[in-house]
């Protein structure tokens, strides 16, 4: 499978009479976007803009999505939701690089977060540096929590897909090409390089802790193989409300840095053979089953090494350690990517589970660190949720509009794909 990504750099976003790109500026026609988002489950939808450096706070944030447009090849972007369920990961896809759709509105689940476009909080989230179209969704009266989540999820995906039409005919600033060989071709081309795969753990504990693969709730799957290029075409979608600091938004999935880094080394000092996606379960039996299947697939691929990334914390720590130890016992060297909940003083146990075989660990930092976010001139959404979101507490929101929270309330602050600017190391 071979995928070409055409990146169109976006440096500003403005409302205009036509949705288009001109000299790096993404112009957005409000009426066009709102028409595409009409949904009886939502009583109102509003659009706002948030640019890097502005005194703007967005909260509570449900998801962040990068606009991408499939222009050549099978399938379409976000299969199973916006497009039909065809295989993706081949052909040509255009990317509005530097732009994002951010969904907010009345809180769906308490584990939602904050994006500050300036100030100290902006240093913890990658989305302070994107040009954001913010979609504020209010649910219809009596709408259940899960339907509320589904309606906001679809609004974000539709907004991103509609916005991405601006890429059609726009000048491409940079082309990137990614190829995933079948197993036989990979062995033939790189016979002397170590075989490495990526074990991609997806949040799937239910109760608003969900991820979707080609439209299927990941809790319903057994671990399976994907081409890395399928992920870049939107095969994996966030539907969860886990703690904001380590939630993989849809934007994170589209721009997974583990996949990109493995591709940079592919054919040089390793053979990147593909992605094993696996779920994070609730019951012990389900954890054992999924980790067994993950280890079996890794052995069938004759791997020499694997990188394993987690999503979330606590209960999923057990899935992480099971995946790690079962691969290690098969002679497959592993590196695990996680973050820490080590208490505000950093002195508590970092993970809920551990094993001596997990001896190569990359951390995104301690989510319990406390920060005070200064007041912003403009708030998009509902700032009072600071008192109830994960990382916040009764009294987090001060009278002057400042907020004192743990950094777990900031979107992407300790992301376990390494999509952040913070980490820690043992010395």
Give the active site residues. 241
CA–CA gap between residue 427 and residue 423 (Å, rounded): 13
For 288, left (φ over 0), alpha (ψ -120 to 50), or beta? alpha
Q: Which pair of tokens denotes residue 239?
A: 């539907």
Longest Cα separation, the chain: 66
CA–CA gap between residue 124 and residue 53 (Å, rounded): 14
Query: What are the CA-CA distances from residue 254 to residues 97, 154, 171, 232, 419 (Å)?
Result: 11, 16, 21, 5, 12
Main-chain phi, psi angles of 8, to 5 degrees: -110, 110
Residue with tokens 């660990």: 361
Residue with tokens 């054992």: 288
In three-state secondary structure terms, 56 is strand
> Please, what's the b/e burial string for 245-257 (b: 16 or more CB within 10 A of its CB; e: otherwise)?
bbbbbbbbbbbbe
Q: HSE of 283 in the Cβ direction (CA atoms, 13 Å)? A: 4
């Amino acid at each position: 499978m071979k995928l070409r990504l055409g990146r169109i750099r976006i440096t500003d976003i403005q409302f205009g009479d036509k949705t288009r790109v001109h000299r790096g500026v993404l112009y957005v026609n409000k009426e066009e976007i709102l028409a595409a988002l009409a949904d009886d489950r939502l009583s109102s939808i509003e659009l706002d803009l948030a640019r890097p450096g502005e005194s703007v706070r967005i909260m509570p944030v449900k998801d962040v999505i990068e606009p991408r447009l499939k222009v050549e090849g099978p399938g379409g972007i976000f299969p199973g939701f916006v497009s039909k369920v065809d295989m993706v990961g081949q052909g040509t896809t255009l990317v509005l690089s530097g732009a994002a759709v951010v969904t907010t509105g009345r809180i769906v689940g308490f584990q939602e977060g904050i994006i500050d476009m300036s100030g100290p909080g902006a240093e913890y989230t990658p989305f302070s540096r994107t040009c954001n179209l913010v979609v504020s969704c209010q649910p219809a009266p009596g709408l259940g929590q899960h339907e509320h989540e589904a309606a906001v999820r679809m609004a974000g995906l539709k907004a991103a897909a509609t916005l991405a039409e601006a890429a059609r005919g726009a000048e491409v600033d940079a082309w990137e090409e990614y190829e995933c060989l079948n197993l036989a071709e990979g062995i033939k081309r790189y016979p002397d390089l170590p075989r490495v795969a990526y074990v991609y753990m997806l949040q799937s504990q239910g109760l608003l802790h969900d991820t979707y693969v080609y439209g299927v709730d990941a809790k319903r799957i057994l671990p399976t193989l994907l081409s890395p290029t399928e992920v870049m075409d939107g095969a994996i979608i966030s539907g969860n409300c886990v703690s904001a600091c380590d939630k993989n938004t849809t934007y994170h999935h589209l721009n997974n840095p583990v996949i990109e880094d493995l591709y940079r080394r592919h054919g040089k000092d390793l053979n990147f053979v593909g992605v094993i996606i696996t779920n994070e379960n609730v019951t012990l039996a389900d954890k054992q089953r999924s980790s067994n299947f993950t280890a079996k697939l890794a052995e069938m691929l004759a791997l020499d090494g694997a990188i394993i990334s987690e999503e979330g914390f606590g209960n999923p720590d057990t899935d992480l350690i099971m995946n790690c130890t079962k691969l290690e016992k098969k002679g497959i060297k592993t590196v695990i990517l996680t973050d820490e909940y080590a208490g505000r003083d950093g002195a508590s146990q970092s993970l809920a589970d551990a094993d001596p075989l997990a001896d190569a660990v990359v951390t995104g930092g301690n989510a319990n660190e406390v920060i005070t976010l200064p007041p912003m001139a403009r708030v998009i959404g509902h700032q009072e949720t600071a008192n109830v979101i994960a990382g916040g507490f009764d009294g987090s929101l001060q009278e002057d509009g400042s907020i004192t929270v743990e950094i777990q309330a900031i979107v992407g602050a300790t992301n376990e794909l390494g999509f952040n600017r913070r980490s820690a190391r043992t010395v």
